[in-house]
Structure 1
């Protein structure tokens, strides 16, 4: 059970009701049900929400205080005391369902203007450390979790390491031998590792703190020239970190054929690579090696999250056996890509009409989103194979641009509508390092959509349409 605190001080940041969250439990709390407030303030909150509706809807539920009492009674079985922390309708969704037949028009949760609702009626979230000291508070749980992510991760690790044996808490996997081995070795956190010398990693370690279960997720963390073993606060964070940590360990334990590959490139390939956005050819080949190894790991272990030494050794040996040939293939492909990118740059420069400035800037922006320092490893070998077609699409567009500026403008409007929806959903090109899998998928759907709009004859790698893009964004 979570504690509550109340402060009556109008104007204070935490005026009203606060949920008190132990720092170690903070990452595990979901923002579900808290928007319903406590029963004693719910009528006042509903009143505030009704007054925050657009006038066309609000006029059907006046006086707001009277309607608030009626709605509160109707929603008595849906309050947070029934489903705190569980998936369920938000208060605004529930209210919208009741108001819609009265207003005789569509009403949704987005119609309520939160800025017009008194601040003290929104639940506040207060994180406290093991001594009860306030670590931070915020009306937005996700913001608080993000701001205190480092401290909460440390609190999770300390909570699990503190009780019982030196190895800390209890493993949640059926194989208890691994956690026993971890306990015998001592604390799970280790630094400066260059090989898998820490035994098998349990999936989860947990212990009881403040009446709740603090769950820690062991992870291998990439430190550049070494890796560390750490406890992450969430399973997703541990999986993401371990994917990068395993990649680093394989790179450290498989001899690099970069020099051999560079020495055996053709003259044309050397010329193409010399004009890349990378600092030098060696940096480009190293980035290609990272991309190739990532791809080979994903083939051998689709999740990329390896947790046993035996599995690591197997994948490492498989990578070592095919790395040279795979790296040659990748570097040759990159040379083709860079050659086509220069053709696109020349095509842009050859156009000198001010009327074409808009589409030319659009093509230049598309090119910059694809070809940039680090693009090989961030794109990945699987998607890299599609870049020549994307570049051919730009060249096709440049050929018809001067003769069909009106058609291009219409097509560009079609594309920009989808690009705006992607941007509104939080997407960027290139994607942010922590972008969701859905946003990354849509980022590449947009490239395919460009081909379908501007260079249809080239074909797309998968069916793509505005409907598919919007459906993907809605499912994120």
Structure 2
């Protein structure tokens, strides 16, 4: 049912994009002028790929977002009018967030190269960075978590900053994270189609665990610990995947 509902919502977004074709033509022109952002994005893809990703993300968020799925022509027409002014607002927010994320990505990458002596932590954070920011991160990251990416990236910087004085404590924290992460990845690899919401949520709680262990000063939005997540995992592991 979740898979069918998600597919229906994607179909509605496609129809709304067609209905608002003039607005999306203008959006495409506006985004073509974002040359500074395209330069920052070059390690992820071309200016054309950036533009396509931004348009897709803006469409998903502005046209439907968290609103109910329109079920008839009347509710579709209402949704179209509701969505029209949101395009510009969502565009500004997304451009700001993506610029910040790309700037921090550059800083983290430079810092990872600069600390080769801490092999285990460097290997962990190199893999972590790749998972956090895959080439399609603009469209693959749920909107609610996209705004958290700068905090997670700052968390990596804080961890690397502290490493020389806290290598043993870091290693203990990393062991706890990786135990949970490996369990998550093994279960995630068994999923076909849409990822169950509870499993997806656990993935983001792992990010908060990293903040709580390696960059406490950046704060987490809710209490999180390896012990809490271990307990949560035991409940999750009993749930069916499909």
TM-score scaled by structure 1? 0.45
Are residues 298 and 330 of structure 1, via their aligned partners in 2, closer, same or farther at CA, if it must alter by over 3 Å? same
Q: How far off its partner does 1:375 sit?
A: 0.9
| Structure 1 residue corresponding to 2:40, chosen from 252, 266, 272 | 272
Tell me if structure 2 keeps the 8 A contact 1:251–1:290: no
CA distance in 2, matches of 1:367, 1:276: 13
Once the two structures are TM-superposed, the CA of residue 460 in structure 1 deviates from its matched residue by: 0.9
Q: Structure 1 residue 367: deviation in Å?
A: 0.6
- Residue 241 of structure 1 is matched in structure 2 by 7
Map 1:194-205 onto structure 2 (within 5 A).
none
1:401 aligns with 2:163: yes
Q: Helix, strand or coil: the match of 1:352?
A: coil
CA deviation after TM superposition for structure 1 residue 391, in Å? 0.3
Equivalent in 333, 336, 344 of residue 100 of structure 2: 336
Q: Cα offset for 1:268?
A: 4.8
Consecutive unaligned residues of structure 2, counting only runs of 5 or more, are none
Residue 461 of structure 1, CA deviation: 2.3
How far did 1:419 drift? 1.3
Q: Is 1:344–1:395's contact at 8 Å kept on the other side of the alignment? A: yes
Task: State the distance in 2 between where 1:242 and 1:373 align.
Answer: 26
* Structure 1 runs of 4+ with >4 Å offset: none
Equivalent of residue 60 in structure 2, options 272, 279, 294: 294
Contact kept, 8 Å, 1:258 with 1:282, in 2: the verdict is: no
> Which residue of structure 1 lines up, in the alignment, with residue 87 of structure 2?
323
SS of the counterpart of 1:462?
Answer: coil
1:252 and 2:18 aligned = yes
How far apart are the structure 1 equivalents of 2:28 and 2:222? Answer: 34
- Residue 51 of structure 1: aligned partner: none
Q: Are the aligned partners of 1:293 and 1:319 in contact in 2 as well (CA < 8 Å)?
A: no
1:434 aligns with 2:186: no
> Higher helix proportion, which one?
2
> C-alpha displacement at 1:405, in angstroms?
1.7
Distance of 1:287 and 1:432 partners within structure 2: 24
Q: How many angstroms does 1:403 deviate by?
A: 3.0
> Hey, what does 2:181 align to over in structure 1?
419
TM-score by length of 2: 0.85
Deviations 1:197-255 (CA, angstroms, capped at 9, x unpaired): xxxxxxxxxxxxxxxxxxxxxxxxxxxxxxxxxxxxxx334212212211222223223
The one of 31, 56, 59 aligned to 1:261: 31
Alpha carbons of structure 1 residues 289 and 260: separation in structure 2 relative to 1, 3 Å: same
What whole-Å deviation, never above 9, does each CA across 1:11-37 have from its counterpart, x for those lacking one?
xxxxxxxxxxxxxxxxxxxxxxxxxxx
Question: Matched residue of 2:84: which SS?
Answer: helix
**1:313/1:325 CA distance change after superposition, 3 Å:** same
Q: What's the C-alpha RMSD, in Å, of the aligned pairs?
A: 2.1
- Paired residue secondary structure (1:341): helix
Note if 1:461 corresponds to 2:228: no
Cα 1:312–1:471 change in 2 (3 A) is farther
More strand per residue: 1
Q: Give runs of aligned pairs for residues 349-368 of structure 1, distance below 5 A.
A: 349-353=113-117, 356-368=118-130
Is 1:282 equivalent to 2:48 in the alignment? yes
Q: The residue matched to 1:300 in structure 2 has which SS?
A: coil
Alignment check: 8 A CA contact 2:38 2:50 kept:
no
- Distance (Å, rounded) in 1 between the aligned partners of 2:193 and 2:100: 26
CA contact (8 A) 2:61 2:90 kept: no
Residue of structure 1 equivalent to 2:211: 451
Structure with more contact order per residue of length (Cα contacts < 8 Å, sep ≥ 6): 2
2:163 and 2:170 in contact (8 A); partners too: yes
- Structure-1 separation of matches of 2:3 and 2:54: 25
2:137 maps to 1:375: yes
Alignment size in residue pairs: 230
Q: Which runs of 5+ in 1 are unaligned?
A: 1-234
Cα displacement (A) at 1:346:
0.3
The secondary structure found in structure 2 opposite 1:318 is helix
Query: Does structure 1 retain, via aligned residues, the 8 Å contact 2:151–2:218?
Result: yes
Pairwise CA distance, 1:438: 0.8
Alpha-carbon distance in structure 2 between the residues aligned to 1:471 and 1:243 = 33
